């Protein structure tokens, strides 16, 4: 039997979910209660995650960073200093990314390459939160501590001289774009794309 035929038989045997079928209606009362409880707990976890980001946003505003969802950015000359938080799906915890984007980068997405993640490992235990205001604030404080003690010094250490060198943390398109911008050959369209991606205040 050919692979194609085997696939066909497999597809024919697969059960199709009837239109209008509701999973909840086919669960036992105990299963329904557990399903609803888990769904509600996930909503609370996600809502608390947003609270953490709002608290962090209040703290980081003193450094003139602008928030766009889980991105926090600041335009500095021809580049943007960026902090990004990834909320894990498996639980109430975040991962922090610290990076620099050249405004004249031709790519229409923000690459998450930047500072080595290992530099943030000592702070990561604090990027977790529980369902309490105290825990939420402690998580935001831990993020801000990492921002102050690790991110800010890293941003300062990456001067334009470093960013256009072989040691640059920028991806190739960013490094090339920065060199062009420093030579007065920047593309206004690329700069506008970067600003829109991060909702930067020029």
Least confident of 35-49, 76-90, 113-127, 170-184: 35-49
C-alpha–C-alpha distance, residues 64 and 161, integer Å: 24
Which has more pLDDT, 201 or 19? 201
pTM over 0.85: no
**Residue whose token pair is 């505003």:** 61
Per-residue pLDDT at 19: 54
| Average confidence (pLDDT) over 29-48 | 80
pLDDT at 113: 87
Task: Give the model's pLDDT for residue 157.
Answer: 97
pLDDT at 202: 60
- Tokens, residue 159: 């001067």
Would the pLDDT of 23 be above 90?
Answer: no
Strand partners, 81: 74, 100
Kindly calculate the radius of gyration of the chain based on its CA atoms and give it in whole angstroms: 23
Q: Indicate the length of the chain as a whole number.
A: 202
**Mean pLDDT, the chain, as a whole number?**
88
> Measured between alpha carbons, how far is 97 from 94 in angstroms, rounded to an integer?
10
Over pLDDT 90: what percentage of the chain? 74
pLDDT tens digits, one per residue of 2-17: 444 444 344 444 444 4
Share of the chain above pLDDT 70, in %: 86
pLDDT of residue 2: 46
- Indicate the SS3 state at residue 74: strand
Copy the structure tokens of residue 83: 């902090």
Mean pLDDT to the nearest integer, 120-136: 96
Question: pLDDT tens for residues 140-166?
Answer: 999 999 999 999 999 999 999 999 999
pLDDT value at residue 30: 74
Q: What is the DSSP letter of 69?
A: T
Q: What is the pLDDT of residue 170?
A: 95
pLDDT at residue number 201: 72
More confident residue, 126 or 201: 126
- Calpha distance 41→53 (Å, rounded): 19
């Amino acid at each position: 039997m050919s692979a194609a035929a085997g696939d066909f038989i497999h597809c024919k045997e697969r059960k199709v979910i009837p239109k209008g079928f509701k999973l909840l209606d086919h669960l036992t009362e105990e299963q329904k209660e557990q399903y609803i409880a888990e769904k509600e707990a996930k909503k609370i976890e996600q809502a608390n995650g947003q609270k953490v980001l709002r608290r962090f946003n209040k703290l980081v505003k003193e450094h003139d960073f602008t928030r766009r969802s889980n991105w926090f950015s600041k335009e500095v000359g021809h580049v943007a200093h960026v902090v990004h938080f990834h909320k894990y799906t498996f639980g109430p915890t975040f991962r922090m990314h610290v990076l620099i984007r050249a405004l004249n980068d031709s790519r229409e997405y923000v690459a998450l390459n930047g500072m080595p993640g290992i530099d943030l490992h000592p702070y990561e235990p604090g990027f977790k939160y529980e369902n309490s205001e105290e825990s939420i604030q402690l998580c935001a404080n831990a993020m801000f501590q990492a921002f102050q003690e690790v991110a800010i010094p890293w941003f300062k250490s990456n001067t334009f001289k470093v960013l256009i060198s072989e040691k640059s943390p920028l991806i190739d398109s960013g490094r090339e774009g920065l060199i062009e911008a420093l030579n007065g050959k920047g593309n206004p369209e690329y700069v506008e794309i970067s600003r829109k991606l991060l909702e930067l205040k020029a």
